[in-house]
Structure 1
């Protein structure tokens, strides 16, 4: 127990110290929200990766989908690396940085308003972000606090509150740069930790081949008559597996807290290096987490009710297979992953709500000092709201995250991607996408017709189809506006801006 407490105290001290160090660099809204648009490749890549993966993946998704799909769940991690990281950086990285700088946009709602000449888009999208990032944040708290309760025997409620307070301190004090620098430190811890954990899980069952042989003898719930389905290439339910891959991989390209990382990129080197780093990071962290979760059936004992508690599978695996010292490493791993995600969610939601909702409706002449004060205040409010939802015992981690990702990515993916690449996208197409993304997921929440992950995947796929379909049938934006908008890609620096970012001096 002493080793675990000592490791946590060191981690907390470093986290708070980074926040205090960055406080002097967070004097303006641009510094607080974007880090001055001067973040280097390693910090940007790790900020992207650690914001992507949290206790939701390590505890909730790895537990549930490892249980459902077996070894095939590893495909989710591979999809996260190739689509959610590699494709996102290649397709969105440079163009996002160039066009958002051209518009001087610090948030996705502001980008929508300026790109599509519609101020109402700013207000509605900012409200969607603030509301639907809360359940995602709550899911992170639930996953993290469940592990802490297992490791230290502390009441779940106090775990949630303690983690919320720590996250709030370093984000409110240091802003984006504090979060990004902590992400770099936390990302390194995550890489080392996941390798150690996977090795320990396999060794606990006699090694990889022995664990695989034992898993092959267990029938799947969805295919009880199919022998060895949990070790097959695509698992017992390939269609549902595809839905999870779409939700957690393609959906990333439309999430404001992920796209925000591209706003802050410093130069061309950051794009090239960041693409490689973030892809490798995702492959190790996500691939390792889902691969580990596949062996949950070898460790977890199903309750007398006959139904597994998915959020409890990974904590039980770790408690039954790891020594105290390695459990301490796991705590730091999951704490690192979760706090980096939480900091990203807090900054995205509070800055968006301040700059795009409050300033757009109530305080039109808000000074930078007042903006910064509101952003910090809303950081605290967002954390508190997430804690309240996390303390609800009836909410599952995967349900909360699927609702959040489904609504936001289903609403924003099409409008954002087409906005960067296609002159023909219209505001009507964006509105149609908002209605569809919100409608599909809320309808499934109150009148379920499929799994939450499948509803999210459906809305994300629809997002890419609805924008062009509606746009070709509705009035186009003025040629003058479009010429000015896309002129940013042709600015010479000395190469076309669409091919290279300007090289800011170190």
Structure 2
């Protein structure tokens, strides 16, 4: 019997569970609020693990370990920045955003929150934010599809395009069926599986190698184990700042922020905070360990296989008998879980922006819940198809695709989210300038060439930082130069700032 049959069995079991969850919630999803926000019923555990699983994606098990394998421990500062960003997001943003989305007309999506928060009757903020979501999430979803295709290609030897089709169809199926609750519950299971896999594999590999003393064999590149060196060269201040700047991205991630909006009460927010931060510290630390240990355990991976180091370690360790192969298959499902948990959330948020924010918000304001639900499912399929086309290049880098999308979201929405929650003087004109200024800065920085090179290439500075600063300054300055917000907006801000959850929840009930 082909050894791969046991891995196939593990994959079939795992995918069957995911699809079962989708079917379970298909009949329970009655309207657009349930499809996009689950009726604000998320518990602390589900909110925490679904948020972090959807956050990390295939980047956690492929992009980050691959970068460390290739360039050394100088890449760990990205993980440090992300851990800080996660903590800041849960401690300062989560509870306040949940309160404000309730006060702001029970907003179901981030664009709708912006519109209601600033009483934007013309819908400028909703339209602008929806367009940016479509642009950047197409790239982000493509990164997940690409990672899934690389997984199937490496394990089963399937041609890249066919592997891409398999991954896209499975992710699309349960997202299409069950909406937000299906996505959150599958992400909850996937978050547990990801953590299990990422902790077990480096520990087993290290034991097989004979302990920490063997890691010196990773030093085939100069200063590989020195976190102050990157690719054998002393890490620069620009590189260090760029890696820490990843933390800013959390403030503008729609698929993470929507989890905050969906938590059922503030007590669950506090519980989620502890769970999420603990999960992130453990998972990021283990991902870094995979890159380091993998370099010593499998020192001869080719240039195109570095992002597959975790997959290759599992295939090398768990072989020889059916039980080990089945365990290896389950651990490989952790990679698939990381990929799926992000792609499904991205599909759902993009669908909500098109159907809820653009169609109902602009084209047909009287659209029924039934028609919105039907349109949302159609849009989910369309978005998946476009992302599939972007991911067709078999040489797509998961790290590069995620990096570009992360910068785009962080710079476009991060400053607006931050100031909308903590600065009562901000107005809709300032928010619009902040959003457009941040998003366009990232696009110009990463894609427009000046003198034959982009600003990203010539400066080495991650586009998220200049984009975020431009968005922040634009929002602040334009707000001060234009009319002060109306009294009703300032009263809503005061209610949110008071932290009176009893009064705020009464607003939701009414």
Task: Choose the corresponding residue for 1:258, options 256, 259, 264.
Answer: 256
Task: Choose the corresponding residue for 1:481, options 486, 489, 504.
Answer: 489
Q: What is the CA distance between 1:354 and its match in structure 2? A: 0.8
Rounded Cα–Cα distance in structure 1 between residues aligned with 2:165 and 2:220: 39
Rounded Cα–Cα distance in structure 1 between residues aligned with 2:328 and 2:257: 33
Task: Choose the corresponding residue for 2:57, options 54, 75, 98.
Answer: 54
Aligned partner of 2:170 in structure 1 is 166
Aligned partner of 2:288 in structure 1 is 290
CA distance change for structure 1 residues 493 and 128 in 2, over 3 Å: closer, same or farther? closer
Q: What is the CA distance between 1:113 and its match in structure 2? A: 1.3
Normalising by structure 1, we get a TM-score of 0.89
Q: What is the CA distance between 1:204 and its match in structure 2? A: 4.8
Aligned length: 485
Does 2:346 correspond to 1:361?
A: no
Contact 1:77 1:288 in 2 (8 A): no
Aligned partner of 1:7 in structure 2 is 10
CA distance change for structure 1 residues 189 and 313 in 2, over 3 Å: closer, same or farther? closer
Q: What is the CA distance between 1:353 and its match in structure 2? A: 1.1
Rounded Cα–Cα distance in structure 2 between residues aligned with 1:276 and 1:67: 33
Q: What is the CA distance between 1:476 and its match in structure 2? A: 2.2
Aligned partner of 2:409 in structure 1 is 408
Secondary structure at 2:455 match in 1 = coil
Aligned partner of 1:224 in structure 2 is none
Deviates more, 1:479-488 or 1:128-137: 479-488
CA distance change for structure 1 residues 141 and 491 in 2, over 3 Å: closer, same or farther? closer
Does 2:23 correspond to 1:20?
A: yes
Secondary structure at 1:294 match in 2 = helix
Aligned partner of 1:449 in structure 2 is 455
Rounded Cα–Cα distance in structure 1 between residues aligned with 2:252 and 2:499: 26
Does 2:128 correspond to 1:134?
A: no
Aligned partner of 1:467 in structure 2 is 475
Alignment of 1:328-347 (within 5 A): 328-347=329-348
Task: Choose the corresponding residue for 2:214, options 186, 210, 213.
Answer: 210
Alignment of 1:177-192 (within 5 A): 177-192=181-196
Runs of 4+, deviation exceeding 6 Å: none
Contact 2:190 2:337 in 1 (8 A): yes
Secondary structure at 1:230 match in 2 = coil
Does 2:79 correspond to 1:77?
A: yes
Q: What is the CA distance between 1:296 and its match in structure 2? A: 4.6
Structure 2: 5+ residue runs without aligned partners? 320-324
CA distance change for structure 1 residues 311 and 124 in 2, over 3 Å: closer, same or farther? same
Rounded Cα–Cα distance in structure 2 between residues aligned with 1:316 and 1:6: 19
Structure 1: 5+ residue runs without aligned partners? 221-228
Rounded Cα–Cα distance in structure 1 between residues aligned with 2:301 and 2:14: 34
Secondary structure at 1:67 match in 2 = helix
Normalising by structure 2, we get a TM-score of 0.88
Secondary structure at 2:463 match in 1 = helix
Does 2:37 correspond to 1:34?
A: yes
Deviates more, 1:194-203 or 1:50-59: 194-203
Q: What is the CA distance between 1:19 and its match in structure 2? A: 1.0
Aligned partner of 1:387 in structure 2 is 388
Aligned partner of 1:458 in structure 2 is 466
**Aligned residues: CA RMSD:** 2.5
